[in-house]
Amino acid sequence: MSTVRFGVTEPRRPGTVLVDATWFMPGAAAQTGAQLFDAQRLAGAVYFDIDAVSDPTSALPHMAPGAARFQRWLSAYGLSAEESFIIYDQNSGFASARVWWTFLRFGLQARILDGGFAAASKAGWQVETGPPPPRNEMPDADTSDRYAGMVMHDTTMSWADVLTHSKAGDALIVDARPAGRFEGRDREPREGLASGHIPGSVNLPFGALLDADGRMKQGAALKRVLPDVDPARRVVTTCGSGVTAAILYAAFAEAGFHDVWLYDGSWTEWAGRGDLPVATGPA
């Protein structure tokens, strides 16, 4: 059984928490993820907003939250670190891996719902519509004991660490952005940000990891897509701002890699700094 994916036909353990991770790039949809969640969701699901539950001290978008920020989100829904979570989204798996990766950083039990909302609703999972019910918030006095055992397993990598690996060539740096942006032919969606890639990195657009129905490829089909199949290889995943890099992270974890890191600042930080090397053209 996969420790990354949760199949829609698998039996759910009583009390398992469904987390809706729907999120869109600014301007990419007519509504926000939160608005779509308010309109419809899998029955009983709670919402995780990667912009709201992020590092407020960073100028970069939706950087991974610290423990206090994450615990406040759990507390707002009356949840503990002992729960089991199934993460899904309503936009073809675009954001669920990012939230899954965030949960793993804090040692929580979480898996990605394979195929997301579309697969679950097709398989007969109950769907709610209209405004969600009120939150079951936890009293502040209960939070310290409930989260005392939570330990962060940090799998983020800084720009300085990525630069070291880029120069040494001792890690597989994999970029999830489309080829045109990676090669410097197409513009970045963020105004004023040059396109291109980290020297020595390779391109693996995240869509190549998914089947037509949004499910992650498995077994031999997945390994055929990956640029390396040595599970001992150190892998650093990156993208535009750390969201689809998590899809790559999940794919390498699914394939049995155990030394996988995510560059949270990704291309927004790398190109935005102005003092780091930028390569263009095919890898």
Calculate ∠ Cα 83-87-92, nearest 5°: 175
270 assigned to active site: no
Six token digits for residue 222 = 């997945």
Partners of 203 in the beta sheet? 175
Whole-angstrom distance, CA of residue 279 vs CA of residue 197: 5
Q: Classify each residue of 49-58 as buried b or exposed e, where b means 16 or more C-beta atoms within 10 Å of its C-beta.
A: bbeebbeeee
Picking from 190, 192, 282, 279, the residue whose alpha carbon sits closest to that of residue 243 is 190
Three-state DSSP string of 44-85: CCEECCCCCCCCCCCCCCCCCCCHHHHHHHHHHCCCCCCCEE
Q: Is 274 exposed, middle or buried (0-12, 13-18, 19+ CB in 10 A)?
A: exposed
Catalytic residue among 157, 239, 250, 271: 239
Whole-angstrom distance, CA of residue 190 vs CA of residue 104: 28
Report, as residue numbers or ranges, the catalytic residues: 239
